[in-house]
């Protein structure tokens, strides 16, 4: 009799597990545990293929320093597919649509700003445990990672004598170690310009226009290896400057054009 009770209890437990599906932790353990390749190798490397990585930046607050450096806060957007991380909605019984995982447990593209000014800071600070947001893994293996980035960039074409004029700044992003046969960087969502919907009105810098273009270069050292990069062009103009004594001086050119400068 006791044996039948035990069998019946096990059947109930198994039925309940099937109904509730696997937890997020259980799913993550199953797709991350087989080996460390999901942390160290691009998803297409084992197949001698190319990993397409969508990348974009989402400016939040920017300023242009007197020495021609753009600095501020942005969101970076990375998206790629890693079939090693695929799972099914049936496994979760529809309880969640995406898995949330610390990015240090994943291979993350080493896309990096070539034109950065703050080279004294860690190259990939958001890869440090606790320093970045979680990444999302969707059933197909699509990974979305949107870390916050506070960085400084060299503005390549700035007239330091023109305080209130327009300036064009070129920001270049590409892989630090992979050529285009292994990591192919493309604009996030196919965008040809930046999204400015979350750009703070309090930012001292007005972004008048922007463009996103992909370029490919070849180098004499590396044969037929392509090196793709995204070149982001920003046409910017100061809205105001804050002096050392705290006094705010507004751009007279913009004020005469009726542009809000605060």
Answer yes or no: are the C-beta atoms of 259 and 201 closer than 8 Å.
Answer: no
CB 70 within 8 A of CB 62: yes
Residue 202 has pLDDT above 80, yes or no: yes
Q: Which CATH class is domain 21-256?
A: mainly beta
- What is the distance between the alpha carbons of residues 187 and 197, in angstroms, rounded to a whole number? 18
- What number of other Cβ atoms are within 10 A of residue 252's Cβ? 10
pLDDT tens-digit map of 23-64: 888 888 888 866 656 777 888 754 558 899 999 999 999 999
Model pLDDT for residues 172-198, shown as the tens digit of each residue? 999 999 999 999 999 999 999 999 999
Query: Looking at 103-107, 115-119, 174-178, which range is the least confident one?
Result: 115-119
DSSP bridge pairs for 183 = 51
pLDDT in tens, 219-228: 999 889 999 9
Write out the two tokens for 223: 């044969």
Q: What is the pLDDT of residue 190?
A: 97
> How high does pLDDT run on average in the chain?
83
pLDDT at residue 16, as a whole number: 37
Phi and psi at 204, nearest 5°, equal -70, -10
Domain boundaries, the chain: 21-256
> Could you tell me how many residues make up the chain?
262
């Amino acid at each position: 009799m006791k044996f039948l009770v035990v069998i019946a209890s096990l059947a109930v437990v198994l039925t309940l597990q099937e109904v509730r599906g696997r937890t997020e932790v259980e799913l993550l353990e199953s797709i991350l545990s087989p080996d460390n390749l999901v942390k160290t190798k691009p998803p297409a490397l084992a197949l001698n293929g190319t990993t397409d990585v969508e990348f974009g930046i989402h400016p939040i607050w920017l300023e242009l320093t007197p020495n021609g450096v753009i600095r501020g806060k942005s969101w970076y957007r990375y998206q790629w597919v890693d079939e090693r991380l695929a799972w099914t909605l049936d496994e979760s019984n529809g309880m969640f649509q995406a898995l949330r995982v610390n990015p240090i447990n994943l291979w993350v593209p080493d896309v990096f700003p070539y034109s950065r000014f703050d080279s004294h800071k860690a190259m990939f600070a958001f890869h440090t445990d606790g320093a970045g947001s979680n990444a999302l893994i969707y059933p197909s293996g699509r990974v979305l990672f949107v870390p916050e980035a506070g960085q400084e960039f060299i503005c390549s074409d700035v007239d330091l004598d023109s305080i209130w004029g327009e300036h064009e700044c070129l920001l270049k992003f590409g892989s630090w170690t992979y050529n285009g046969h292994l990591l192919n960087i493309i604009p996030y969502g196919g965008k040809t310009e930046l999204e400015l919907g979350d750009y703070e009105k309090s930012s001292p810098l007005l972004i008048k226009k922007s463009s996103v273009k992909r370029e490919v270069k070849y180098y004499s050292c590396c044969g037929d290896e392509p090196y793709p990069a995204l070149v982001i062009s920003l046409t910017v103009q100061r809205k105001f400057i804050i002096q050392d004594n705290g006094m705010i001086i507004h751009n007279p050119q913009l004020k005469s054009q009726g542009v809000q400068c605060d």
